[in-house]
C-alpha cells in the first residue's frame, strides 16, 4: 500500500505546476497517479494530476511562481483518492489499448513494407527480363527486316530480268510470224499461174528417177 502523503521540494511542485519537466516532477506524478510512467504517458499523467490538484486547491490557479515559493520550502502531496484514480486508470487503459493497436499496425505496416519491397524487387527483375526480351526481339526483327528487304531486292531483280526476257520473246515471235507469212505468199504465187509450178502426179510406170523402168536393180538374182 502506498504512503498516505509524501513530501516534495517546493521547487519541484512549482516546476510541475508551471509546466516544467524533470526527474523530480516525474517522481511526483508517479506518486500522485500510483503508476509506473514512461515518457509517452507522463504528459497525460501531468494533465490529469494538475486537474485534480486545481480541483482541491483552486487558489493555486491565481498564484504566480514567486507566490508559490513563499508558501514554504516543501509541500506534502497526497495520492489521488480511489474515485479520481479510477478515472485515471480508465484513461490509461484506453491509452494502453491505443498504443497496442498502434504497435500492431506499425508492425503490419513494416510487414507490408517489406512485402512491397520484395514485390518491387520482383517487378524490377521482370522489367529487366522484359527489356532484355524486347531487345532480342528488336534485333531479330531488324535482322529479319534486312533479310526480307534483301530478298525483295533479289526477287525484284529477277522479275525485271524475266520481264525483259518476255519482251524479247514477244519481239522474236513477231519476227518469225512475218517470215512465215512471206513463205506462204511465195507458195501461193505459182498456183495462181495455172499450176505450172506444181509437181506432176506419179504414174504407175514411173521409175522415181531410176534409169529404165524395166531394169529394176532389185530384180537381179544377186540381190
The per-residue pLDDT for 149 is 78
Per-residue pLDDT reduced to its tens digit, 121-150: 989 888 888 888 888 877 777 777 777 778
The more confidently predicted of residues 195 and 101 is: 101
Per-residue pLDDT reduced to its tens digit, 110-127: 999 999 999 899 898 888
Instruction: Name the residue range of residue 40's domain.
Output: 5-80
Q: Is residue 38 part of a domain?
A: yes
Q: Is residue 196 part of a domain?
A: no
Q: Is residue 144 part of a domain?
A: no
Mean pLDDT value of segment 56-82: 86
Q: Band the pLDDT of 216: cuts 50, 70, 90.
A: low
- Domain total of the chain: 1
Q: Is residue 47 part of a domain?
A: yes
Average pLDDT, rounded, for the chain: 78
Q: Is residue 212 part of a domain?
A: no
The per-residue pLDDT for 152 is 83
The per-residue pLDDT for 28 is 92
d(CA 86, CA 199) in angstroms, rounded, equals: 153
Q: Is residue 121 part of a domain?
A: no
- Residue 7 is given by DSSP the state E
In the chain, how long is the greatest CA-to-CA distance?
A: 187
- Residue 78 is given by DSSP the state E
Nearest Cα neighbor of 53 from 76, 20, 24, 86 is: 76
Beta bridge partners of 74: 9
Per-residue pLDDT reduced to its tens digit, 29-62: 999 998 888 888 898 999 988 888 888 888 888 8
Tell me the whole-structure pTM to 2 decimals.
Answer: 0.47
Among 23-27, 100-104, 148-152, 202-206, the least confident range: 202-206
The grid coordinates listed for 102 are: 498502434
The per-residue pLDDT for 25 is 92
Task: Say yes or no to pLDDT of 189 above 70.
Answer: no
Q: Looking at the chain, how many residues does it have?
A: 223
For the chain, strand residue ranges (E) read 5-9, 74-78
Q: Is residue 75 part of a domain?
A: yes
Q: Is residue 165 part of a domain?
A: no
The per-residue pLDDT for 220 is 56
The per-residue pLDDT for 27 is 92
Amino acid at each position: 500500500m502506498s504512503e498516505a502523503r509524501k513530501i516534495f521540494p517546493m521547487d519541484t511542485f512549482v516546476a510541475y505546476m508551471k509546466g516544467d519537466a524533470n526527474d523530480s516532477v516525474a517522481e511526483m506524478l508517479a506518486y500522485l497517479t500510483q503508476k509506473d510512467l514512461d515518457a509517452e504517458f507522463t504528459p497525460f499523467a501531468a494533465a490529469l494530476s494538475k486537474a485534480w490538484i486545481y480541483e482541491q486547491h483552486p487558489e493555486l490557479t491565481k498564484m504566480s511562481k514567486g507566490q508559490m515559493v513563499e508558501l514554504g520550502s516543501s509541500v506534502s502531496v497526497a495520492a489521488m483518492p480511489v474515485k479520481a484514480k479510477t478515472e485515471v486508470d480508465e484513461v490509461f487503459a484506453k491509452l494502453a489499448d491505443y498504443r497496442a493497436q498502434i504497435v500492431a499496425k506499425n508492425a503490419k505496416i513494416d510487414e507490408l513494407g517489406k512485402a512491397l519491397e520484395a514485390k518491387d524487387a520482383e517487378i524490377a527483375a521482370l522489367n529487366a527480363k522484359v527489356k532484355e526480351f524486347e531487345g532480342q526481339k528488336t534485333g531479330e526483327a531488324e535482322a529479319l527486316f534486312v533479310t526480307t528487304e534483301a530478298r525483295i531486292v533479289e526477287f525484284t531483280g529477277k522479275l525485271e530480268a524475266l520481264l525483259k526476257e518476255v519482251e524479247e520473246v514477244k519481239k522474236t515471235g513477231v519476227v518469225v510470224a512475218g517470215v512465215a507469212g512471206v513463205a506462204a505468199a511465195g507458195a501461193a504465187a505459182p498456183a495462181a499461174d495455172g499450176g505450172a509450178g506444181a509437181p506432176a502426179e506419179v504414174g504407175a510406170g514411173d521409175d522415181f528417177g531410176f534409169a529404165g523402168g524395166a531394169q529394176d536393180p532389185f530384180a537381179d538374182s544377186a540381190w
